[in-house]
Amino acid sequence: MKAFLACSVIALGLVGPIAVAQDGAGARARAAQDVIAQPSEEQLRRYAGAVKKVSAVAAEYQPRLQEARSEPERQAVRIEADRKMVAQVEAGGMGVDEYNGISRAVQRDPELRRKVEYLVNQ
């Protein structure tokens, strides 16, 4: 499994990071994610587009997750949604590490968050 769904929605509809599976590459990815403190305007535009797509996937899968009757069913829904979210991020020209790094920067920086909110709402 490449990644695990993180469907926590942060304020104003922005979706939080897609958590990368924990392995040796996962530790390196977390370190890389924290480096993106000041994303470029182009990165922010790609990120805003990815946020819209990831939010739509999260909204699509939320009812299925709530309807799942067992933990194995919930896990299967999470994995399916995660794969779709990762595909949406990558289709927009971003890697998961870049998306997660910008998500962390947005969560920490109110001004950056306002920029992203503006781009998402355009």
**Sequence ranges of the domains in the chain:** 3-121
Q: Where are the alpha helices (DSSP H) in the chain?
A: 24-35, 41-67, 71-91, 96-108, 110-121
Contact 18, 54 (CB under 8 A): yes
Helix (H, G, I), strand (E, B) or coil at 101: helix
Is residue 92 pLDDT above 80, yes or no? Answer: yes
Q: How far apart are CA 60 and CA 85, in angstroms?
A: 11
Query: Which among 13, 32, 10 has a CA at the least distance from the CA of 98?
Result: 32
Percent of the chain whose pLDDT exceeds 90: 37
Contact 38, 116 (CB under 8 A): no
Percent of the chain whose pLDDT exceeds 70: 70
Is residue 3 pLDDT above 50, yes or no? Answer: no
| Span 99-115, pLDDT tens digits | 988 988 888 899 998 99
What's the mean pLDDT in 36-42?
A: 85
